[in-house]
C-alpha cells in the first residue's frame, strides 16, 4: 500500500513527468515521425511543454533567473545578432528557436527541483536512461558480433538513423587472426551496424558523464545505504557499454572529468603539488596513448579530417570575425562555399562551431557561461565540509560538466538535450546544496568550513544594504499582531527594487528602512535577487496585499484605520474607504486626509482630530516610496497611532482607480510587466532598475 500511495503522490505533483523528460533526453535520436506530413520532432521536446504546464498548474514552478542568467542572455543575444549576418537566416532562426527550447528545459529543471529528493530523482532518471541505452547497445554489439541481425524492434518507429561508426573494440578485434574469428563464428567486418538507435559518440559521452555523476552520488551516501548498490550496478553496466563503444571525444571527456574529480577528492589529503603532478602525469600518459592510437590505426583519416574542419572554421571566422557565418550555418556554408559537392562537413568540435558560426563574440560568451558555472560550483565545493553529503555531489556535477566541455573539443554535443539537462542539474544542485548549507547552519549543524559560519544570518536578509525580513504573508500579519500585544509603536515598510537603489544613494532613507520594525519584500525583484544568491526569501509580500490583510485584521479586532495621501495622486482615499467598508463591514475608518508631504502640521492635525483621544490602530501613508517612509519615521512619535505603514499606490487599487494584474501573473512575478504594458510611460521607471539588476548579479559573485 505504501508503494501505491507513493506512486499516486508522484502522479499528483508531476514529478514523474519531469523524470520522464530527463529520461527521454538520453535518447537523443528518439523522434516522433509522421512520414505523410514529413514531420519529425524529438520526444523530449514534445514532453517539455506538457511537463511545464502540469508543474505550473500544480504550483510547482516559480520563476527564478539564476546566477547563469546574464551569461545565457548574452549567448542568446549573440545568436540572434548573428542572424543578421547569417549565410542562411532561416537556418539560423531555427537553431535559435531550438536553443530557446533547450534553455526552457534547463530552467524547467532548476525551477522544479526544490529538494534533495527531487534532484536525486532526476539523477536516477539519467542513470536509468543510461542503463537502458547500455543494455540495448550491449545486446546489439553481441548480436552483430556473432553475425545476427542487431536491429531493434522499435527502430522503424523513428526517423533518425546513424551511419556506420567504427569503435575502439573494432581495433582490438582486428588483432584477432582470421582463423580465430571464424572459429568463434564472428563477422569478418566489425563495424557498428548502420541501423542503430543512437549515435555512438553521443551515447558514449552521456554514459561517461553518468559515470562521474554516479560516483559523486555514490560517495555522498553512507556505506550501508542500499542506493549505493543500485547506482553501482548502473555504473558497471554503463562502463561495459563505454568500453565497447567509446569514442576519442568521450574518452577525453571522461579522462578530464575523472582528473578533476580526483583532484577535488584528494586535494585535502595529499600535498597539492604532488597531487597535481600525479594527475598531470596520468593525463599526459592517457592522452599520449590516445594520440598514438589516433595516428597508427585506421582512425588516422578521421584525425586528419579534423584538421580540415579547423581550417574551415578559420575561413568562416575570417569572413566575419565578430559574428561568423551565422548560428547553425557551419555545415551549409562549408558545403556550399568552402567545399562544394562535399557530402558532409561537420565541425566535430563545439569550439570550432562557436568560432565559425558566431565569431569571437560567440566563442567568448559561451566560454564565459562555462567559466561562471565552474566558478560557482567550485567555490561552493570549497565552502562545504567533508561530512556534508552535498560536497561530493557538487564535485560530481562540476567534474561532469568539465567532462562535457572536454568531450566537445572533438565532438559537438553542446546543443543536444542531455547537455541542458546536465546544466539544469548543476544549477539545481548548487541551489539545493546552498539551501542545505544555510538550513544546517541555522540548526547548529555546521557542515561548513570554519570561515563561513559567520556569514549565516537570521530572519533578515541584506539586499544591497537594506535588511529585509524573511516572512510569508501570514508571518508578516502575525508580526504586526505582536506589535499590538507588546504595546510598542511600530512602522512597517515595503521595499521594492527602486527603493533599494534610492537607499544606496540616500543615507537617511537607508537608515529609515533599516530601522523599520518590519520590512517585507514588495516586488518580485527582491525575491529573485534572494534566489539568485541561493538564500531565497519565502515569498513576495506585496504591499497592496498586506494593506488589505491589515484592514481585515483591523476589522476583526474592532480597530480603526486612517488613510493619508498627497494631492499629487488620484486622491483615492475616500473611495477606497467606502469599498473597504463594504468588503469588511466591521472596519472603522477613522478618517482620510489629503495633505502635502511638506505640510506635516496639517497632516498630523487631521490625524489628531480623527483620533478623538484614542489611538488609531493603523495609519496608512500613500506619499510614494521614499517620502512616505521618512514622513512616518519623523512623525510617528508625535501622533496617536500604534502602527504606521507606507503603502504607495494601494489606495488606488482599493478604490478601483487602477487594476492589478491577474493572480497567475502576480504569482509568477510578472506584475511589473503587466503594469508596463498597461502604462507604457512607466518604461522610464523600469530603466532605473538596470543598476539593481547589475548589482544583483555582481553581488552573486561575492556570496556563496
Report pLDDT digits (tens) over 179-207: 554 555 554 444 444 445 567 778 888 89
Indicate the angle between helix axes 690-700 and 524-532, nearest 10 degrees: 20
Are 332 and 376 part of one and the same domain? yes
**pLDDT for 656 beyond 60:** yes
**pLDDT for 247 beyond 90:** no
Do the beta carbons of residue 571 and residue 594 sit within 8 Å? Answer: yes
Distances (CA, A) of 560 to 60, 427, 595: 39, 49, 20
Q: Is residue 293 part of a domain?
A: yes
Find all residues with CB under 8 Å of 524, minimum gap 6, and list them.
Answer: 63, 540, 669, 670, 671, 672
Report pLDDT digits (tens) over 149-172: 776 766 666 554 443 444 444 444
- What nine digits make up the cell of 440? 544546517
Nearest CA to 163 among 114, 200, 112? 200
Nearest CA to 383 among 451, 316, 318, 331? 451
Q: Is residue 126 part of a domain?
A: yes
Task: Write down the mean pLDDT value for the chain.
Answer: 81
- pLDDT for the residue numbered 687: 74
- What nine digits make up the cell of 525? 525583484
Among 263-267, 400-404, 491-495, which stretch is predicted with the lowest mean pLDDT?
A: 263-267
Report pLDDT digits (tens) over 262-292: 889 888 777 777 767 777 777 677 666 655 5
**For residue 398, what are the domain limits?**
2-439
DSSP-assigned letter for residue 619: E
The residue-averaged pLDDT of 447-467 equals: 62
Are 117 and 179 part of one and the same domain? yes
**pLDDT for 305 beyond 70:** no
Q: With bands split at pLDDT 50, 70 and 90, how would you rate the model's confidence at 390? A: very high
Are 433 and 518 part of one and the same domain? no
The residue-averaged pLDDT of 389-409 equals: 93
Q: With bands split at pLDDT 50, 70 and 90, how would you rate the model's confidence at 251? A: confident
Q: Which residue has the higher pLDDT, 660 or 475?
A: 475
Find all residues with CB under 8 Å of 398, minimum gap 6, and list them.
Answer: 260, 264, 374, 377, 378, 381, 426
Q: Is residue 448 part of a domain?
A: no
Are 473 and 602 part of one and the same domain? yes
Q: Is residue 39 part of a domain?
A: yes
- pLDDT for the residue numbered 381: 93
Residue 39, strand partner residues: 34
What is the phi-psi region of residue 350: left when phi exceeds 0, alpha when psi lies from -120 to 50, beta otherwise? alpha
**pLDDT for 312 beyond 60:** yes
Its pTM stands at 0.83
Percent residues over pLDDT 70 in the chain? 79
Q: Is residue 393 part of a domain?
A: yes
Q: Which range has highest mean pLDDT (7-21, 43-57, 313-327, 368-382)? A: 368-382
Neighbouring C-beta atoms of residue 294, cutoff 10 Å: 16
- pLDDT for the residue numbered 55: 84
Nearest CA to 220 among 379, 380, 397? 397
SS3 187: coil
Distance CA(409)–CA(606), nearest Å, equals: 74
Nearest CA to 322 among 89, 72, 71, 84? 84
The residue-averaged pLDDT of 78-96 equals: 91
Do the beta carbons of residue 80 and residue 397 sit within 8 Å? Answer: no
Percent residues over pLDDT 90 in the chain? 32
Do the beta carbons of residue 157 and residue 34 sit within 8 Å? Answer: no
- pLDDT for the residue numbered 614: 82
**pLDDT for 103 beyond 90:** yes
**pLDDT for 325 beyond 70:** yes
The CA angle 423-63-114, to the nearest 5 degrees, is 65
Are 499 and 580 part of one and the same domain? yes
Are 496 and 555 part of one and the same domain? yes
- pLDDT for the residue numbered 161: 46
Are 666 and 636 part of one and the same domain? yes
The residue-averaged pLDDT of 337-353 equals: 82
**pLDDT for 219 beyond 90:** yes
Are 520 and 487 part of one and the same domain? yes
Q: Which residue has the higher pLDDT, 606 or 452?
A: 606
Are 36 and 137 part of one and the same domain? yes
Neighbouring C-beta atoms of residue 504, cutoff 10 Å: 16
Are 434 and 464 part of one and the same domain? no
Q: Which residue has the cell 544549477?
A: 427
- What nine digits make up the cell of 344? 558532409
Nearest CA to 626 among 499, 534, 527? 499
Nearest CA to 674 among 658, 661, 689, 663? 661
Q: Which range has highest mean pLDDT (139-153, 629-643, 657-671)? A: 629-643
Neighbouring C-beta atoms of residue 598, cutoff 10 Å: 11
Are 192 and 302 part of one and the same domain? yes
- pLDDT for the residue numbered 170: 47
Report pLDDT digits (tens) over 537-583: 888 898 888 999 999 989 988 888 898 888 887 778 888 888 888 88
- pLDDT for the residue numbered 535: 86
The residue-averaged pLDDT of 611-625 equals: 86
Q: Is residue 556 part of a domain?
A: yes
Q: Which of 409, 439, 469 is the last residue of a domain?
A: 439
Report pLDDT digits (tens) over 434-454: 887 666 544 444 344 444 433
User: Phi/psi at 642 (nearest 5 deg)?
Assistant: -80, -50
Q: Which residue has the cell 543615507?
A: 507
Question: Rounded to a whole number, what is the distance in angstroms from the first to the last CA of the chain?
Answer: 43
Q: Please state whether beta strands 641-646 and 490-493 pair in parallel, antiparallel, or not at all (unpaired).
A: parallel
Question: How many structural domains compose the chain?
Answer: 2
Q: Is residue 447 part of a domain?
A: no
Strands (E), 483-558: 490-493, 518-519
Q: Which residue has the higher pLDDT, 342 or 431?
A: 431
The residue-averaged pLDDT of 106-121 equals: 87
Provide DSSP, 319-380.
H-TTTTT-TT-HHHHIIIIISTT-S----S-HHHHHHHHHHHHHHHHHHHHHHHHHHHHHHH
**pLDDT for 667 beyond 90:** no
Q: With bands split at pLDDT 50, 70 and 90, how would you rate the model's confidence at 520? A: very high
Find the radius of gyration of the CA atoms of the chain.
Answer: 31
Distance CA(235)–CA(233), nearest Å, equals: 5
**pLDDT for 25 beyond 80:** yes
Q: Is residue 453 part of a domain?
A: no
Are 431 and 488 part of one and the same domain? no
- pLDDT for the residue numbered 582: 87
Amino acid at each position: 500500500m505504501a508503494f501505491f500511495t507513493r506512486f499516486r503522490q508522484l502522479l499528483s505533483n508531476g514529478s514523474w513527468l519531469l523524470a520522464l523528460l530527463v529520461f527521454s533526453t538520453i535518447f537523443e535520436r528518439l523522434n516522433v515521425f509522421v512520414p505523410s506530413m514529413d514531420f519529425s520532432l524529438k520526444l523530449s521536446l514534445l514532453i517539455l511543454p506538457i511537463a511545464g504546464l502540469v508543474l505550473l498548474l500544480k504550483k510547482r514552478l516559480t520563476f527564478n533567473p539564476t546566477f547563469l542568467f546574464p551569461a545565457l542572455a548574452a549567448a542568446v543575444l549573440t545568436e540572434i545578432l548573428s542572424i543578421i549576418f547569417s549565410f542562411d537566416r532561416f537556418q539560423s532562426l531555427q537553431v535559435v528557436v531550438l536553443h530557446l527550447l533547450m534553455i526552457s528545459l534547463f530552467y524547467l529543471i532548476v525551477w522544479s527541483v526544490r529538494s534533495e529528493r527531487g534532484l536525486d530523482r532526476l539523477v536516477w532518471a539519467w542513470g536509468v536512461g543510461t542503463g537502458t541505452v547500455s543494455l540495448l547497445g550491449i545486446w546489439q554489439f553481441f548480436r552483430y558480433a556473432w553475425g545476427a541481425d542487431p536491429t531493434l524492434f522499435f527502430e522503424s518507429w523513428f526517423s533518425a538513423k546513424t551511419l556506420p561508426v567504427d569503435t575502439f573494440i573494432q581495433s582490438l578485434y582486428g588483432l584477432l587472426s582470421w582463423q580465430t574469428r571464424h572459429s568463434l563464428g564472428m563477422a569478418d567486418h566489425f563495424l557498428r551496424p548502420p541501423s542503430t538507435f543512437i549515435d555512438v559518440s553521443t551515447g558514449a559521452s552521456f554514459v561517461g558523464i553518468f559515470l562521474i555523476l554516479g560516483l559523486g552520488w555514490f560517495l555522498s551516501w553512507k556505506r550501508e545505504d542500499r542506493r549505493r548498490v543500485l547506482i553501482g550496478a548502473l555504473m558497471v553496466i554503463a562502463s561495459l557499454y563505454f568500453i565497447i563503444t567509446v569514442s576519442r571525444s568521450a574518452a577525453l571527456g571522461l579522462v578530464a572529468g575523472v582528473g578533476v574529480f580526483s583532484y577535488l577528492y584528494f586535494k585535502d589529503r595529499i600535498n597539492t603539488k604532488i597531487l597535481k603532478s600525479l594527475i598531470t602525469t596520468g593525463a599526459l600518459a592517457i592522452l599520449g596513448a590516445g594520440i598514438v592510437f589516433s595516428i597508427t590505426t585506421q582512425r588516422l583519416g578521421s584525425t586528419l579530417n579534423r584538421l580540415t574542419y579547423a581550417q574551415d572554421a578559420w575561413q568562416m571566422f575570417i569572413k566575419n570575425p565578430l559574428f561568423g557565418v551565422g548560428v547553425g550555418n557551419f555545415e551549409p556554408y562549408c558545403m556550399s562555399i568552402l567545399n562544394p559537392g562535399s557530402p558532409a562537413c561537420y565541425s566535430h568540435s563545439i569550439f570550432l562551431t562557436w568560432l565559425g558560426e558566431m565569431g569571437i563574440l560567440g566563442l567568448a560568451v559561451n566560454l564565459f557561461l562555462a567559466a561562471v558555472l565552474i566558478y560557482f560550483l567550485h567555490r561552493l565545493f570549497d565552502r562545504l565540509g567533508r561530512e556534508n553529503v552535498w560536497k561530493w555531489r557538487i564535485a560530481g556535477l562540476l567534474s561532469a560538466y568539465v567532462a562535457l566541455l572536454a568531450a566537445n573539443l572533438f565532438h559537438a554535443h553542446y546543443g543536444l538535450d542531455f547537455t541542458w539537462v546536465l546544466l539544469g542539474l548543476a544549477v539545481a544542485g548548487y541551489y539545493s546544496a546552498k539551501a542545505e548549507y544555510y538550513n544546517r547552519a541555522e540548526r547548529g549543524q555546521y557542515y561548513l568550513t570554519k570561515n563561513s559560519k559567520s556569514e549565516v544570518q537570521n530572519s533578515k536578509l541584506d539586499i544591497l544594504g537594506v535588511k529585509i525580513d524573511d516572512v510569508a504573508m501570514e508571518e508578516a500579519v502575525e508580526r504586526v499582531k505582536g506589535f499590538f500585544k507588546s504595546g510598542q509603536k511600530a512602522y512597517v515598510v515595503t521595499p521594492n527594487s527602486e527603493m533599494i537603489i534610492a537607499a544606496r544613494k540616500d543615507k537617511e532613507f537607508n537608515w529609515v528602512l533599516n530601522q523599520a520594525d518590519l520590512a517585507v519584500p514588495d516586488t518580485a525583484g527582491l525575491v529573485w535577487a534572494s534566489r539568485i544568491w541561493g538564500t531565497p526569501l519565502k515569498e513576495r509580500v506585496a504591499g497592496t496585499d498586506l494593506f488589505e490583510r491589515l484592514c481585515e485584521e483591523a476589522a476583526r479586532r474592532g480597530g480603526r484605520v486612517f488613510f493619508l495621501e498627497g494631492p499629487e495622486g488620484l486622491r483615492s482615499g475616500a473611495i477606497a474607504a467606502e469599498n473597504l467598508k463594504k468588503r469588511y463591514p466591521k472596519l472603522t475608518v477613522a478618517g482620510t486626509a489629503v495633505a502635502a508631504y511638506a505640510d506635516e502640521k496639517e497632516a498630523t492635525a487631521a490625524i489628531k482630530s480623527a483620533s478623538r483621544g484614542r489611538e488609531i490602530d493603523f495609519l496608512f501613508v500613500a506619499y510614494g516610496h521614499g517620502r512616505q517612509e521618512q514622513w512616518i519615521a519623523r512623525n510617528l512619535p508625535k501622533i496617536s497611532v500604534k502602527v504606521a505603514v507606507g503603502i504607495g499606490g494601494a489606495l488606488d487599487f482599493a478604490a478601483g482607480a487602477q487594476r492589478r494584474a491577474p493572480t497567475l501573473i502576480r504569482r509568477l512575478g510578472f506584475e511589473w510587466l503587466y503594469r508596463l504594458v498597461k502604462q507604457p510611460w512607466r518604461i522610464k521607471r523600469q530603466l532605473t532598475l538596470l543598476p539593481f539588476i547589475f548589482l544583483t548579479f555582481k553581488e552573486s559573485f561575492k556570496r556563496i
